[in-house]
Amino acid sequence: MYSQKKYCTKMFTLLLVSAGLIALYVLRNWYLKRPRCKSNAKLHGKTVIVTGSNTGIGKTTAIDLSRRGARVIMACRDKQRAEAAISDIKKETGNNEVVSMELDLGSLQSVRSFAETFLKSEFRLDILVNNAGLMKGGKTKNGVGMIFGVNHLGHFLLTVLLLDRLKECGPSRVVTVASKAHEYGKIDFNCLSTHKDLAVGESDWALFKKYSHSKLCNMLFTRELAKRLEGTNVTCYSLCPGAVKTEIGRYSSFLWCMMSAPILSLFCMDAESGAQTTLYCALQEGIEPLSGCYFSCCAVQKVNADAKDDAVAKKLWEVSETLCGMS
């Protein structure tokens, strides 16, 4: 009797575990089944810039745009990795109009140099994809927080320097990759004034908070940019790609990587799935009236109060201009 009861208990436990695993598998597949960009747009004769395009979402975005016939400028810091990615893209798409230009978003001088070189050598700019991002401590070459400097400030300066060319080639678009992490973000202007950073601290948690703040910056920047572009033929959008297996956490501590690895492997999409909303914002016909909005899953999304605070967005623009030496 005892052994039979023990056997039944084991079988019940096994059934519960099996049911849990099946439910987890179904939930995972449901979550990872994301909408896809269905635009059939062709881009022959068009020029696009994609920052951080030698890996992950950026590379996948570059592949898709290249396949549609665009001239793709891969704006990357690591020239060797960019050249390797270009070789892959040319083989996969058959489009030889893929070139790299060195861009270190952590250096305002590099951003200016990139813009100058681009404007002298390229005569069109139809789509600018601000894709690059990182979660790394330290300071940029200009003394601002690394995450703030790369994720927001470098892209801010790059966009502003290229705006006239975008206007000349309209209709054109600016697409900035943000994140759902913006919901945990705040803009502390006192901290920016004192430390040239969005927060203090270098722990993994502190870096995540800085990352969240920087993603809120991306959204507020897009919102203010849309206001400044009213009456032009340029529109702009921010987006969340979803949880994607990329190299964004490559600078995180070993402990953080070990803790996050099971979650990433179970619930994170591949780069192709993660790039779909970027492509939607870059290509989808008819979304021009939604300039300044935030997208996810190939659809416009509601945002919290912090992400649509026009006064904070305007102040962030002005502070960014000052930090870039533009005012």
How do residues 114-158 score in pLDDT, each as one tens digit? Answer: 999 999 999 999 999 999 999 999 999 999 999 999 999 999 999
Cα–Cα distance list, 228 to 171, 189, 236, 320, 326 (Å): 15, 22, 11, 15, 16
Distance CA(203)–CA(185), nearest Å, equals 17
Cα–Cα distance list, 139 to 89, 109, 142, 197, 200 (Å): 33, 15, 8, 9, 12
Residue 118 near residue 74, CB atoms below 8 Å: no
133's torsion region: left (phi>0), alpha (psi -120 to 50) or beta?
Answer: beta
Question: Is 280 considered catalytic here?
Answer: no
Output the DSSP codes for 126-137: -EEEE-------
What does pTM read for this prediction? Answer: 0.86
pLDDT of residue 30: 45
pLDDT(23) > 50: no
Average the pLDDT over 158-187 and give the result. Answer: 97
Q: What are the pLDDT digits (tens) for 237-248?
A: 999 997 655 555
Whole-number mean pLDDT of the chain? Answer: 89
Greatest CA span in the chain, whole angstroms?
Answer: 87
Residue 289 near residue 296, CB atoms below 8 Å: no
Average the pLDDT over 235-264 and give the result. Answer: 64
In percent, the amount of the chain with pLDDT more than 90 equals 79
Phi, psi of 229 (to 5 degrees): -100, 0
Q: What are the pLDDT digits (tens) for 283-305?
A: 999 999 999 999 999 999 999 99
Average the pLDDT over 270-278 and give the result. Answer: 91
Q: Which of 211, 237, 280, 294 is catalytic?
A: 211
pLDDT of residue 290: 98
Number of H-type helices and E-type strands within the chain: 12, 8
pLDDT of residue 271: 80
Distance CA(158)–CA(118), nearest Å, equals 11
Average the pLDDT over 175-198 and give the result. Answer: 96
Confidence of residue 269 (pLDDT cuts 50, 70, 90): confident
pLDDT(25) > 80: no
Average the pLDDT over 240-267 and give the result. Answer: 57
Average the pLDDT over 174-180 and give the result. Answer: 97
Domain edges within the chain: 43-324
pLDDT(258) > 60: no
Confidence of residue 175 (pLDDT cuts 50, 70, 90): very high
pLDDT of residue 138: 96
Cα 39-103-227 angle, rounded to 5 deg: 55
pLDDT(44) > 70: yes
pLDDT(13) > 70: no
Q: In CATH, which superfamily holds the domain spanning 43-324?
A: NAD(P)-binding Rossmann-like Domain (3.40.50.720)
52's torsion region: left (phi>0), alpha (psi -120 to 50) or beta?
Answer: left
Distance CA(22)–CA(18), nearest Å, equals 6
**3-state DSSP call for residue 295?**
strand
Residue 241 near residue 35, CB atoms below 8 Å: no
Amino acid letter for position 71: R
pLDDT(26) > 80: no
314, 312, 125, 287 alpha-carbon torsion, rounded to 10°: -110
User: What would the two tokens of residue 214 be?
Assistant: 């920087």
Average the pLDDT over 201-228 and give the result. Answer: 96
pLDDT(90) > 60: yes
